[in-house]
Amino acid sequence: MRRAMAEAKVGDDVYGEDPTVNQLQEIGAKMLGKEAGLFVPSGTMGNLVAVLAHCGRGDEVILGNKAHTFYFEAGGISALGGVHSYQLPNLPDGTLDLDEIRAAIRTDEDPHFPNTRLIALENTHNRCGGVALSAKYTQAVGELARQYKLKVHLDGARIFNAAAALNIKASDLAAPVDSVTFCLSKGLCAPVGSILCGNRAFIARALRIRKQLGGGMRQAGILAAAGIVALETMVDRLPEDHLRAKKLAQGLAEIPGITLDPGSPFTNMVYLSLPDDFPLTAIQVDFKLAEQGVLVDNTGLYSFRLVTHYWIDDFGVDKTIGSFQAVMRQV
């Protein structure tokens, strides 16, 4: 990737003249089965651009109460776009109940309500354990949206992980939606960037919004070159991460006091918890693990998320299991 970045052909992407960015956008759009793509600095910006391109001020988006856009994106759709969110409870498998979506839709007929314009999904679903949403479910949401003339956006930050887990193409998962964002900087290992995909008219609107948000970069081909390497070399190896997540989960499950979340891992995320009366909080355990060179994400008072990726090899898995064992023995 670093060699590709150093040797990248560049131009001014604000004027659409960076050949490497253009190539990355074309590759990304083709892999997701969409007409066009737009390179953005982050998945958060990609989701924000998508919502603002689909919705106007005072409009409403239906999403899950565990969605990344709701949880972890600083309220940007409301703060910057004036878009209202209607949060439905995510089911354990990451989906939203179709009947609840239908009941939440609000039309232009009643002046008391915001107008529903968009349904947003997430695949894989981070806060639901990294579970993959099926193509069948996404198709059902798409059909429901079309009945009410709504759009569907998919936060597909890890859509290639979902495709690997389901053994289908990412384009099959994205086919029913109007727009999809995916990250280059997670399991695909690029240093920065995401791609937003949709039809050409949508991407034209998104391009203007990206500029408004400060996401127009100049010789961005230096970054895009890494994204091309990611898409060409990292997608097919994702099952390795899933296998290591299973190995990690199996090792951790054998440690007294550690409980895996039901079904974990679904893809490359392992969710686990400690007893409620454990003498150390997750943050305290986090610090002790960090002293041993193991970095984890605490997700609650006694709970954690561990993620496998390209940089986590078999030695790293074994070291993590051993470090947890050492911490648990200390108390």
- Token output for 216: 């127009």
Q: 37 forms bridges with which residues in the sheet? A: 197
| Residues sharing a CB contact under 8 Å with residue 230, sequence separation 6 or more, in sequence order | 1, 184, 188, 189, 190
Q: Which of 169, 171, 165, 186 is nearest to 234 (CA)?
A: 186
- Token output for 206: 């998104």
- Give the C-alpha separation, 319 to 296, whole Å: 13
Q: Which residue has the tokens 């004036």?
A: 82
Q: Is this prediction's pTM over 0.95?
A: yes
Per-residue pLDDT tens digits of the chain, which is 331 residues long: 999 999 999 999 999 999 999 999 999 999 999 999 999 999 999 999 999 999 999 999 999 999 999 999 999 999 999 999 999 999 999 999 999 999 999 987 889 999 999 999 999 999 999 999 999 999 999 999 999 999 999 999 999 999 999 999 999 999 999 999 999 999 999 999 999 999 999 999 999 999 999 999 999 999 999 999 999 999 999 999 999 999 999 999 999 999 999 999 999 999 999 999 999 999 999 999 999 999 999 999 999 999 999 999 999 999 999 999 999 998 8
Contact criterion met (CB below 8 Å) for 226 and 4: yes
Q: Is the peptide bond before 265 cis (omega within 30 degrees of 0)?
A: yes
Read off φ and ψ for residue 240, nearest 5 degrees. Answer: -60, -40
Chain length of the chain: 331
Q: Which of 66, 120, 64 is nearest to 96 (CA)?
A: 64
Q: Where in the chain is the domain with CATH 3.90.1150.10?
A: 238-330
Q: Which residue has the tokens 């989960």?
A: 249
Phi-psi region of 130 (alpha: psi -120 to 50; beta: other; left: phi over 0): left
Q: Where in the chain is the domain with CATH 3.40.640.10?
A: 2-233
Predicted local distance difference test score (pLDDT) of residue 72: 96
- 238-330 maps to which CATH number? 3.90.1150.10
- Token output for 285: 């355990």
Give, as one character, the DSSP assignment of residue 10: -
Burial environment of residue 194 by CB neighbours within 10 A (0 to 12, 13 to 18, 19 or more): buried
Predicted local distance difference test score (pLDDT) of residue 238: 98
Predicted local distance difference test score (pLDDT) of residue 331: 81
DSSP strand pairing (151-155 vs 115-122): parallel
What is the assigned CATH class of domain 2-233? alpha beta
Q: Which one-letter amino acid corresponds to residue 106? A: R
